[in-house]
């Protein structure tokens, strides 16, 4: 079994534990062993804390990387924001010797040193590269035949591409392939490349952008919007409701985190996956529930 | 393009720098601003900007607002007019951090990183939008952006997950303090 250290971040374990549950269930079935890390903090977030002081941001990120190094395996994240911070930190520390020394001087205060022995991956690339689409398909017991799934890549899985090196940022295909591996049909809407807008503190800008994006998703008549980041998820769940009210339009495409979709396709019952807590519930998924064999009545 | 013109006019009006005609063509570059910015991680990258505008077309903040334009922002940095960018009503917070500008720039300028470095300068001056400061405070006091609570642990238990472990805050504080303004590393 391949082993990887799990960097949970803040949002998934605290706000969306159903996503963590799904990750743990599905990785097990894919033959990946999770090594839990002790003492992790926020990555720290690449928007707010990074805006205060990049050097402190980098130092805390380096500490999280050191925790993974202690386990001797590579690390994976479940959030595109954590991926952005930890990948960029790894890259900066690797490229810039002076910066590395500065950060290691800070880390020395807590008895740590960044060496660069644990690499960083987003969980989506982890399953693509270490399991593969075919093997993912083999674990599917409820193929999501005919399900129309719009895709939201978000920004930080792909960009900056010279650091992420994950897929073509102008024409990516990995999420389509991941969705296809479950038997579903990926749908690329016209504004697929837009950002969820969460990081922007302006009010009108994200609302207008989100409205454009949701309009093209609706035009494609997708049943779901699949994504791989809890921040994007919040924007498309609570946020979508807000946009629908604001513009008085019918936007109601349920967002679903890819690993919950995977867990369902692998046989996890719908009601175990926490969907009832979403503003927009993906009830279309109920049609894939396996009829449990009815027990013979022994009267 | 119309929006670009609008912003250019706005930029030109500010402080009357770089205006057309006569002596007013002279631009006084404020090197102090650039030097302070260059102290920040990747803050010096604007120096390599040759004003091609490749960063503008796919910038969502430029598309969806009338006043944000990464090329113009880099120009102000080149002129050392950054103080105009880092006031309490700073337009830099319109940036969505999407990294499209960094993807497009032929000069590896990474406008988004230069913008974040300017936000660091704002923080040194104690200027934050309210919501931003709140998230930073939550992180600095709890080590997380979503703090632990019994409600969180109850939700986790529903999925058979253990309670959230505490973050060793003394370690985090040793790494982030003291304030960067003191110049201490
Ligand atoms: S990251 Fe760059 S392209 Fe994206 S909004 Fe900010 S300035 Fe514009
Ligand atoms: S793409 Fe790069 S070089 Fe061109 S204007 Fe933007 S920052 Fe300057």
Domain ranges of chain B: 2-124, 130-182
pLDDT at A290: 62
Confirm if A255 and A236 have CB atoms less than 8 A apart: yes
CA separation for the pair A130, A157 (Å, rounded): 17
Q: At what angle do helices A17-29 and A258-265 cross, to 10 degrees?
A: 50
CATH, domain range B2-124? 1.10.1060
pLDDT at A127: 97
Average pLDDT over residues B13-37: 68
Of B102, B103, B152, the CB nearest to A14: B152
Which chain A residues are closer than 8 Å to B171 by Cβ? 39, 63, 110
pLDDT at A212: 95
CA distances from A195 to A159, A211, A277, B163 (A): 11, 12, 24, 33
DSSP of B114-132: HHHHHHHHHHHTT---HHH
A286 touches chain B (CB under 8 A): no
Give the residues of chain A that fall short of pLDDT 70: 290-299
pLDDT at A246: 96
Residue of chain A whose Cα is closest to the Cα of B134: A48
Which chain A residues are closer than 8 Å to B143 by Cβ? 41-42
Domain with CATH 1.20.1050.140 in chain A: 2-123
Q: Give the model confidence (pLDDT) of A98-111 as tens digits.
A: 999 999 999 999 99
Q: How big is chain A, counted in residues?
A: 299
Residue with the bigger pLDDT between B68 and A294: it is B68
Q: Give the model confidence (pLDDT) of A251-265 as tens digits.
A: 999 999 999 999 999
CA separation for the pair A137, A117 (Å, rounded): 31
Give this complex's ipTM. 0.93
pLDDT at A293: 46
Domain with CATH 3.40.50.11810 in chain A: 140-288
Assigned CATH topology for domain A2-123: Glutathione S-transferase Yfyf (Class Pi); Chain A, domain 2 (1.20.1050)
CA distances from B126 to A214, B4, B172 (A): 37, 31, 21
CB-based contact B139 A197, cutoff 8 Å: no
Best to test chain B binding among A11, A19, A36, A41 (most B CBs inside 10 Å): A41
A15 touches chain B (CB under 8 A): yes
Q: Going by CA atoms, what residue is nearest to atom 6 of ligand 1?
A: B95
CB-based contact A209 B64, cutoff 8 Å: yes
CB-based contact A49 B136, cutoff 8 Å: yes
pLDDT at B161: 98
A156 touches chain B (CB under 8 A): yes
For chain B, the C-alpha Rg in angstroms (whole number) is 20
B66 touches chain A (CB under 8 A): no
pLDDT at B23: 62
Closest approach atom of ligand 2 to CA B56:
6
DSSP of A24-89: HHHHHHTTEEEEEPSS------TTHHHHH-HHHHHHHHHHHHHHHHHHTS-EEESSHHHHHHHHHH
pLDDT at B83: 86
pTM recorded for the entire structure: 0.91
What is A140-288's CATH number, 3.40.50.11810, 3.40.50.300, 2.60.40.420, 3.50.50.60?
A: 3.40.50.11810
Average pLDDT over residues B51-59: 97
Q: Within 6 Å (CB) of ligand 1, which residues are found? A: B 59-61, 70, 95-101, 111-112
Residue B122, min C-alpha distance to chain A (Å):
8
Which chain B residues are closer than 8 Å to A20 by Cβ? 156, 159, 161
Residue A152: in which H helix or E strand, if any?
strand A148-152
B100 touches chain A (CB under 8 A): yes
Mutate to test the pocket of ligand 2, among B100, B108, B111 (most ligand atoms within 8 A of CB): B111
B17-26, B117-126, B132-141, B168-177: segment of lowest average pLDDT = B17-26
pLDDT at A198: 87
Confirm if A131 and A121 have CB atoms less than 8 A apart: no
Residue A135's nearest CA partner among A33, A261, A31, A226 is A31
**Rounded percentage of chain B residues whose pLDDT exceeds 90:** 72
pLDDT at A292: 56
Count Cα atoms within 13 angstroms, Cβ side, for B164.
Answer: 32
CB-based contact B171 A63, cutoff 8 Å: yes
A210-214, B46-50, B129-133: segment of lowest average pLDDT = B129-133
Residue B45, min C-alpha distance to chain A (Å):
14
- Cβ burial of A93 (10 Å; 0-12, 13-18, 19+) is buried
Q: Is the peptide bond before B53 cis (omega within 30 degrees of 0)?
A: no
pLDDT at B68: 97
Residue B178 has pLDDT above 70, yes or no: no
- Token pair for A282: 């993906």
CA separation for the pair A45, A113 (Å, rounded): 21
pLDDT at B24: 64
CB-based contact B172 A14, cutoff 8 Å: no
Confirm if B133 and B141 have CB atoms less than 8 A apart: no
Average pLDDT over residues B147-171: 96
Strand partners, A6: A36, A76
Of A10, A55, A199, the CB nearest to B145: A10
Average pLDDT over residues B4-14: 38
Residue A67's nearest CA partner among A38, A92, A100 is A38
Q: How far apart are the first and last CA of chain B?
A: 45
């Amino acid at each position: 079994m391949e082993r990887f250290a799990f960097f949970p971040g803040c949002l998934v374990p605290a706000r969306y534990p159903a996503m963590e549950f799904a990750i743990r269930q599905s990785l097990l079935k894919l033959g990946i062993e999770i090594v839990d890390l002790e003492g992790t903090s926020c990555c720290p977030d690449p928007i707010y804390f990074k805006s205060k002081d990049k050097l402190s941001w980098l130092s805390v990120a380096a500490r999280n990387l050191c925790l993974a190094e202690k386990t001797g395996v590579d690390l994976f994240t479940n959030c595109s924001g954590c991926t952005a911070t930890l990948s960029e930190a790894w890259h900066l520390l690797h490229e810039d010797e002076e910066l590395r020394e500065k950060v290691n001087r800070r880390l020395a205060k807590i008895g740590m040193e960044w060496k660069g022995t644990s690499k960083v991956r987003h969980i989506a690339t982890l399953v693509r590269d270490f399991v593969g689409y075919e093997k993912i398909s083999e674990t599917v017991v409820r193929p999501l035949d005919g399900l129309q799934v719009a895709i939201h890549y978000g920004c930080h899985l792909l960009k900056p591409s010279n650091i992420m090196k994950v897929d073509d940022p102008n024409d990516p295909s990995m999420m389509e392939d991941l969705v296809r591996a479950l038997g579903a049909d990926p749908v690329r809407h016209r504004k697929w490349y837009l950002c969820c807008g969460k990081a922007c503190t302006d009010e009108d800008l994200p609302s207008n952008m989100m409205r454009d994006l949701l309009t093209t998703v609706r035009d494609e008549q997708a049943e779901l919007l699949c994504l791989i980041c809890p921040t994007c998820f919040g924007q498309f769940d609570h946020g979508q409701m807000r946009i629908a009210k604001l513009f008085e339009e019918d936007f109601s495409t349920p967002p679903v985190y890819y690993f919950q979709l995977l867990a369902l396709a692998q046989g996890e019952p719908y009601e175990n996956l926490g969907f009832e807590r979403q503003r927009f519930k993906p009830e279309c998924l109920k049609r894939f529930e396996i009829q449990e064999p009815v027990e013979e009545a022994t009267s | 393009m119309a929006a670009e013109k609008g912003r250019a006019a706005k930029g030109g009006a500010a402080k009357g720098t770089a205006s057309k005609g006569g002596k007013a063509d002279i631009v006084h570059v404020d090197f102090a601003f650039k030097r302070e910015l260059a102290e920040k991680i990747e803050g010096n990258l604007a120096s390599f900007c040759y004003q091609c505008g490749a960063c503008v077309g796919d910038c969502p903040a430029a598309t969806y607002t009338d006043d944000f334009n990464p090329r113009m922002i880099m120009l102000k940095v080149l002129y050392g007019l950054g103080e105009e960018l880092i006031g309490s009503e700073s337009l830099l917070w319109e940036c969505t951090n999407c990294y499209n500008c960094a993807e497009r720039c032929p000069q590896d300028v990474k406008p988004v990183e230069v913008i974040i470095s300017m936000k660091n300068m704002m923080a040194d001056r104690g200027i934050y939008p309210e919501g931003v400061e709140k998230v930073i405070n939550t992180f600095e006091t709890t080590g997380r952006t979503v703090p632990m609570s019994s409600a969180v642990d109850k939700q986790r238990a529903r999925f058979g997950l253990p309670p959230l472990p505490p973050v060793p805050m003394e370690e985090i504080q040793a790494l982030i303090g003291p304030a960067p303004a003191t110049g201490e590393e």
